[in-house]
Structure 1
Amino acid sequence: MCTSLAFPERGLYGRNLDLEYHFGEQVVLTPRKFPFAFHHHPALAEHYALLGMASLAGGVPLYAEAANEKGLYMAGLNFPGNAHYFAAPKEGALNLAPYELFPLVLGQCATVAEARQLLEQVHLVAEPFGPGYPLAPLHWQIAGPDGVLAAEPMADGLHLYEDAWGVLTNNPPFPWQQMNLNQYRGLSPATPENRFAPARELEVFGQGLGGLGLPGDASPASRFVRAAFYKQNAVFPEDRAGQVVQFFHLLDAVAMVRGSVQTPEGRWDETIYSSCLDVQGPPVYYYKTCESGCLHAVRFTEEAAAGREPVCHKPVTEPGFAEHTLA
């Protein structure tokens, strides 16, 4: 499942990773001189450094979301039933396996405009990382200071959409999600006028009545609407730490609580972690896990970026509390 949010004007990007299992995720900084190999493209011996959440496959980071040192962000989200990869390479195209998008886009592009120019050439080939690795059906959000894109691989090619809302969830495809917002144009954070019966007094019995009709379930369409509503109306404090905390409040509003969503296999779909990448300066990767609940920060360092091997941080999964004693 999953929800990704982008605030280009604030340099804040991140997501909820909703899944019924862990995938060996670690916060990984990939240095500039770590070589990325490709099936149908020359290897990248040198590239921008990347920081984000990934699993390591034979020492190679497979990112779920990341930002590069230039501030370009990318997240992959589940897109089953719609995602389409081609059986064979296409002559004259930029042929890539789905997992190769992260290193090529974030490794070479500093802006969304550069990413769009690259993605317009892409032909996605149905090639997993290796034997035994799944071919995940994905679509992607790409964001930077010059905008936000949604990239969706369909049977007729890779579609690129301007994502002015800065929101991406899962199915249906992005144009439907955007059109669906028209049904909620009457919602507001303010108390609504009495248009039902203006001649009669209808009592306002509590706050939040302007949001009546905002869907509260965990389906992708409902999360898209809810995320767009909260994001559009969010009020951020002046201080940077407070802005990061507010970003996590937005993610909390579309998170999956353990026990609320059951898969057909009888497992619990839940938000296993939430993340926020602050790219105003050298990237900082903030996260919290389902088990811990505390915010943690992993900072980009020039020393790690100048190395040759990925540097990893295992997410904290033990509950932590700031203890206070009453005198």
Structure 2
Amino acid sequence: MCTAATYKTKDFYMGRTLDYEFSYGDEVTVTPRNYPINFRFMGVRNNHFAMIGMAHVADDYPLYYEAFNEKGLGMAGLNFVDNAAYSEPDLRGLNGESNIENVAVFEFIPWILSQCATVDEAKERLQFINLTNTQFNEMFPCANLHWIIADKESCITVESMSDGLHIYDNPVGVLTNNPPFNIQMFNLNNYMGLSAKQPESNFSDRLDFNRYSRGMGALGLPGDLSSQSRFVKVAFTKMNSVSGDDEKSSVSQFFHILGSVDQQRGCCQLDDDKYEITIYTCCCNTTKGIYYYTSYDNHQICAVDMHKENLDGDKLVRYPLITDGEIRAVN
């Protein structure tokens, strides 16, 4: 399971945790403007916006978990098991009988980021999209996902379900997994009494209470690893977060926001004695084009600047995830 969030200071930031029991071989991948993107039903796009994100590259194709483009638009896919549903390709679109755009789930992120500079432009494209159940190959079945799409001005959540495509405005700029987004948002009503300030007693005017600890205004904030609890915790942490607006302060604070829902090995046990962990956490400065990340055993922040690459190239640029950390001895 995973958690995604946005954050805005002087620049706009977006990122996520990727929580799973194993890695597919993750690489920070830059797709330059002239890399030919072959879409299953929509032809080849030879010229497009450049993008950067974490991907598993298969057959020289970037299967992005999340990415953002040179215009500042970001997008991330998160698990949405038992709720996600996709369609068969629409023959009317294939035959040119309608403006329906058949897009396979695995190519949804590059489809949007290759041509849209803003959330509003993405909304325009989503009017015509038919997300298909087309597999990348026999080794990669369709992932059950929903998506967060954001720029510096707005944020939306996209969910493809059995009753159609749902597009929600996302005022908290947070996404986790199940249940569907509208239920997650309604659940926040249960936590309206939380506060970053110390509480005032409303229990009874006949009792005196002792505020014996700092932080008691947030009593009741969930701390477990379930997706609904992580949604609440990151929403509260992000929306009460304060930092300087310089790059170092903003990036550091963003990692602290997502760090509030880190998954430690041993706390989420799966079958066959496997454990879900936070494999990596990323923070993307979509304004400057810098992709930052940490990994489970390497908490040093690593950075890849897309503008230091040849964005007019036609080949993927790949940086494997740095997973080994170092301990700095100070004596």
State the TM-score, normalized to the length of structure 1: 0.96
* Contact residue 31 and residue 307 of structure 1 kept, 8 A: yes
Q: For residues 265 and 114 of structure 1, do their structure 2 counterparts lie closer, same or farther at Cα, with a shift above 3 Å needed?
A: farther
For the residue of structure 2 that corresponds to 1:245, the secondary structure is helix
Percentage identity across aligned positions? 40
For the residue of structure 2 that corresponds to 1:293, the secondary structure is strand
Q: Does 1:241 align with 2:248?
A: yes
Amino acid across the alignment from 1:233:
N
Q: For residues 38 and 259 of structure 1, do their structure 2 counterparts lie closer, same or farther at Cα, with a shift above 3 Å needed?
A: same
In structure 1, C-alpha distance between the alignment counterparts of 2:208 and 2:33, rounded to whole Å = 66
In structure 1, C-alpha distance between the alignment counterparts of 2:57 and 2:296, rounded to whole Å = 21
In structure 1, C-alpha distance between the alignment counterparts of 2:22 and 2:91, rounded to whole Å = 35
Deviations, residues 59-98 of structure 1 (Å, cap 9, x unaligned)? 1111001110001000000000000011332523111100
- Give the match for residue 232 of structure 1: 239
- Give the match for residue 304 of structure 2: 298
In structure 2, C-alpha distance between the alignment counterparts of 1:272 and 1:287, rounded to whole Å = 10
Amino acid across the alignment from 1:146:
E
Q: Does 1:319 align with 2:320?
A: no
For the residue of structure 2 that corresponds to 1:228, the secondary structure is helix
Q: Kindly state the Cα deviation for residue 211 of structure 1 after the two structures are TM-superposed.
A: 0.6
For the residue of structure 1 that corresponds to 2:159, the secondary structure is strand
* Contact residue 52 and residue 69 of structure 2 kept, 8 A: yes
Q: Kindly state the Cα deviation for residue 8 of structure 1 after the two structures are TM-superposed.
A: 5.0
Amino acid across the alignment from 1:56:
V
Structure 1: gaps (5+ residues)? none
Counterpart mapping for 1:231-270 below 5 A: 231-270=238-277
Q: Does 1:139 align with 2:146?
A: yes
Q: Does 1:286 align with 2:292?
A: yes
- Give the match for residue 307 of structure 1: 313
In structure 2, C-alpha distance between the alignment counterparts of 1:237 and 1:88, rounded to whole Å = 48
Identify which of 177, 184, 187 aligns with 2:194: 187
Deviations, residues 153-192 of structure 1 (Å, cap 9, x unaligned)? 0112211000000000000000000000000000001111
- Give the match for residue 208 of structure 1: 215
For the residue of structure 1 that corresponds to 2:6, the secondary structure is strand
Misfit runs of 4+, over 6 Å: none
Deviations, residues 7-34 of structure 1 (Å, cap 9, x unaligned)? 2564100000011110111000111000
Identify which of 263, 274, 279 aligns with 1:272: 279
* Contact residue 7 and residue 254 of structure 2 kept, 8 A: no
- Give the match for residue 88 of structure 2: 87
State the TM-score, normalized to the length of structure 2: 0.95
In structure 2, C-alpha distance between the alignment counterparts of 1:198 and 1:222, rounded to whole Å = 32
In structure 1, C-alpha distance between the alignment counterparts of 2:182 and 2:91, rounded to whole Å = 26
Amino acid across the alignment from 1:163:
N
For the residue of structure 2 that corresponds to 1:105, the secondary structure is helix
Aligned length: 324
Structure 2: gaps (5+ residues)? 93-97
In structure 1, C-alpha distance between the alignment counterparts of 2:131 and 2:41, rounded to whole Å = 11
Deviations, residues 220-260 of structure 1 (Å, cap 9, x unaligned)? 00000001100110011232211100000001001111110
